Amino acid sequence: MAIEDDVLVIGGGLAGATAALAAADEGAQVRLVSHKQSTLRHASGLIDILGYTPAGEGPIVDPFAALADLPEGHPYERVGSEAVREGLSFFDEIAGDAYDGDHTDANALVPTHGGTVKPTARYPTSTAAGVASDDRDTLLVGFETLPDFEAPLAAAHLEAAGAPFAARGITVRFPGIVRDDAKVTRYAHLLDHDEAVETAAGETTAREALADIVRSQLEDETRVGFPAILGDDHADAVRADLADRLGVDVFEVPMGPPSLPGLRLEDMLYEALEDAGVRVTTGVPVVEYETAADGRIDHVVVDRNGTEIPHRADEYVLATGGLVGKGVRSERERVFEPIFDCHVPHPADRYDWFVDDVFGDQPYARFGLPVDRELRPLDVGDEPEFENLRAAGAVLGGYDFAAEKSGSGVSLATGYVAGQRAGTEAGR
C-alpha cells in the first residue's frame, strides 16, 4: 500500500523545509522525505538575498533594487521580486526574534571567520552586535584548540578591508578543553551547562573562567566577538551572561561547517515543521518513480532500510540541492538530475564545463534545472517535464549562489513559491 499525501517534498534543506511549511500553510497534508541529514548544519546560518551581481559588482547595498537587472532564467527572475519579499517575510514569521534585519531592505555586512564581511539580509541575533556598520572598536577572541578561527588574522583582514572600527585579535586557551579535535558542540555544551573546569586558580565554571581570561585582555574595546560556539540550547543566556561579566557587548562570528548557527536554524525550522503537522522522514532516498497515463508523476519509491515503499501525492517538490548536494550529478559525458532525470542544460564538450582559472567564472556553477514561472522543470523543448513537479533551491540552474551570495534567498523564495503553488493545486 502506498503512503498518500497531498504534497510530497523531496529534500530537507532550507528550500525543502520552506516548501513544506508553505504547502502546509495552504492547508495541504504534507510529507517531507530526505536521503541524509539536513545540509543546514553546514550552513553559516546567515540569510543572504543578493550580495553581488552576476558580473561580480558589489557588495550590494539594496538587494531588492538589484533584482530587476538579473538575467532571464535566474531563479529570482522566474518568481519575481514580490515573491522574494514574500518568502523572506514568511521566514521572518518563523524566525521571530531569533533573527535581525527585518527593519530594512538594506544588506548588513556581517564579519565572518576569515575576516571578510558578508552582505546579508537576515542574521542571527547572536551576530547583531558585530555588524560592520557599527563603528565600535572590537576585540576578536580565538582559541588555541579551534584553529578554524584565527582571530588575529581575521582582525587584520577586517582593518585591511576598511572596516570603520579598530579590530584586534587574540588567541587564548578555552577553559576545560585541551584537545584540538573537540567538536564545536563540546564547546557549546560546556557553556550551556556552565560546567566546572580546572584553572590555575582552582575550580570554577566555564563561563566565569572564560570571562576572566578575556577580561584580562580587554583594552578600550566595547564589544567582543567569539567564534560561534557560545551555547546551543541556551545560547542567548550564555551570550548575555558573558556580556554581563565582561561589561561589553558580546557577539558570535559565523564559522564554517559544522556550524552551530546552522544547527540552530535547522532546529528552528524542524520545530516549525512539527508544529505545522508536516510528517518528516530522513534517511530514505528516492530510488524510483512511476507516471500515470496522463504523464503526471503517480508515485515515487523510497528505500527504507532495504525495503522499497511507494509514496503517492498529488503534487511534488524537488529540493535536493545542486552539484554539491548531489541533487545534480555529472558523469564524463553528461550532467543530469538523478531522481526524475530532468533536463540539465550543459555544453556537449565537457571541457566547456569549466575554465582553467580556478577563481574564474565557472560555467558548472550555474548548472541546474531550467524552470517555468510555476517552477516546473522544463525539458529540452521548454515544456514541463511533469505537470505536478516543482523544483526549488540549489537544484535550479541559471545562477551562481556562491559568487552572488544568494543561496539562502533563492532557497526561501523558490521554496515558498513551489510549496504555495503545490499546496494550492493539491487542494483543487
**pLDDT over 90 at 428, yes or no:** no
Report the alpha-carbon distance of residue 6 to residue 29 in Å, rounded: 5
Lowest mean pLDDT among 10-19, 177-186, 280-289: 177-186
**pLDDT over 80 at 1, yes or no:** no
- What pLDDT was estimated at residue 360? 75
Q: What angle do CA 20, 24, 26 make, to 5 degrees?
A: 125
| Torsions phi, psi for 371 (to 5 deg) | -135, 160
Asked if 310 and 2 count as a contact pair (C-beta separation under 8 A), the reply is: yes
- What pLDDT was estimated at residue 392? 98
Interval 334-372: pLDDT, tens: 999 999 999 999 988 888 888 787 677 887 888 999 999
Residue type for position 417? V
197 and 155 share one domain: yes
Report the alpha-carbon distance of residue 406 to residue 61 in Å, rounded: 14
293 and 359 share one domain: yes
pTM recorded for the entire structure: 0.94
Interval 61-92: pLDDT, tens: 999 999 999 999 999 999 999 999 999 999 99
* HSE-up (13 A, CA, CB side) for residue 203: 3
* Grid cell locating 387: 505537470
| Torsions phi, psi for 228 (to 5 deg) | -75, 75
**pLDDT over 80 at 179, yes or no:** yes
Report the alpha-carbon distance of residue 108 to residue 317 in Å, rounded: 31
Per-residue confidence band for 244, with pLDDT thresholds at 50, 70 and 90: very high
Per-residue confidence band for 182, with pLDDT thresholds at 50, 70 and 90: confident
SS3 321: coil
Count of CB atoms situated within 10 Å of the CB of 359: 6
The domain tally of the chain equals 2
315 and 338 share one domain: yes
Residues 6+ apart with CB under 8 A from 237: 231
Domain limit, last residue, from 253, 274, 303: 253
Q: What rounded mean pLDDT belongs to the chain?
A: 93
270 and 375 share one domain: yes
Per-residue confidence band for 196, with pLDDT thresholds at 50, 70 and 90: very high
Per-residue confidence band for 174, with pLDDT thresholds at 50, 70 and 90: very high
Quote the percentage of the chain above a pLDDT of 70. Answer: 99
What is the residue range of 291's domain?
Answer: 3-98+263-426
- What pLDDT was estimated at residue 126? 96
Per-residue confidence band for 148, with pLDDT thresholds at 50, 70 and 90: confident
Peptide bond preceding 258 in cis form (omega within 30 of 0): yes
Residue carrying the nine cell digits 522544463: 378
Per-residue confidence band for 238, with pLDDT thresholds at 50, 70 and 90: very high
Residue carrying the nine cell digits 517555468: 372
Query: Could you tell me which of 108, 235, 117, 102 has the C-alpha nearest to residue 167?
Result: 117
- What pLDDT was estimated at residue 106? 95
- What pLDDT was estimated at residue 326? 86
CATH number of the domain where residue 118 is located? 3.40.50
284 and 165 share one domain: no
Quote the percentage of the chain above a pLDDT of 90. Answer: 80
Work out whether strand 30-34 and strand 279-282 pair parallel, antiparallel, or are unpaired: parallel
**What are the residue ranges of helices labelled H in 31-96?**
63-66, 75-79, 81-95
**pLDDT over 90 at 265, yes or no:** yes
154 and 270 share one domain: no
Per-residue confidence band for 183, with pLDDT thresholds at 50, 70 and 90: confident
Per-residue confidence band for 114, with pLDDT thresholds at 50, 70 and 90: confident
Domain limit, last residue, from 227, 253, 279: 253
**Inside any domain, residue 106:** no
Residue type for position 148? D
Asked if 21 and 27 count as a contact pair (C-beta separation under 8 A), the reply is: no
**pLDDT over 90 at 313, yes or no:** yes
Number of H helices, E strands in the chain: 11, 19
Q: What is the Cα 343 distance to its own chain's centre?
A: 25
Query: Could you tell me which of 398, 386, 394 has the C-alpha nearest to residue 425?
Result: 386
**Inside any domain, residue 107:** no
- What pLDDT was estimated at residue 258? 80
Report the alpha-carbon distance of residue 362 to residue 245 in Å, rounded: 48
Domain limit, last residue, from 253, 284, 306: 253
**Inside any domain, residue 258:** no
| Torsions phi, psi for 374 (to 5 deg) | -95, 5
Report the alpha-carbon distance of residue 331 to residue 350 in Å, rounded: 9
Q: What is the Cα 173 distance to its own chain's centre?
A: 30
30 and 130 share one domain: no
Report the alpha-carbon distance of residue 396 to residue 317 in Å, rounded: 12
